[in-house]
Amino acid sequence: MFDQSQIQEFKEAFTIMDQNRDGFIDKEDLRDTFAALGRINVKNEELEAMVREAPGAINFTVFLTMFGEKLKGTDPEETILHAFKVFDTEGKGFVKADVIKEKLMTQADRFSEEEVKQMFAAFPPDVCGNLDYRNLCYVITHGEEKD
């Protein structure tokens, strides 16, 4: 399901979020863990459902299994690419970051200012204010940057 480097990354994120270091995490720890791994727009209902789905306290093994199941719910890369291509009328592979920010904060499942900041911290626009959406889509669906 996950390679060794991904498991190590998950374990490090889990340990960071397990603030009381008892080996178990709660709903807020789950939210922080998702954010640390790049998924910043998780709804309370989804977190509460994960806690209810757990067979007991959420330790690292339970977390890894549950998180893997949730990652499988990501849209296919091509679907996400098509969503960005709507804003890339010239087909250059990038879009203006300010346009994406405005859409993320005003459409559908709206991002907060903090969520947008987190996204741009992980995927900063270039010096011209362009966002490489192809790389962003790849990371969303594959979990690591292309070379």
**Distance (Å, rounded) from C-alpha 89 to C-alpha 6?**
35
Asked whether the domain spanning 77-142 has the same topology as the one spanning 4-71, the reply is yes
Q: Does domain 77-142 have CATH number 1.10.238.10?
A: yes
pTM (whole model) above 0.75: no
Per-residue tens of pLDDT for the chain, all 147 residues:
455 666 677 667 666 666 555 667 777 777 777 776 667 778 888 888 878 877 777 776 677 666 666 655 566 778 888 888 888 888 898 999 999 899 888 887 788 888 888 888 888 899 999 999 888 888 777 765 555
Return the domain boundaries, the chain. 4-71, 77-142
CATH superfamily of 4-71: EF-hand (1.10.238.10)
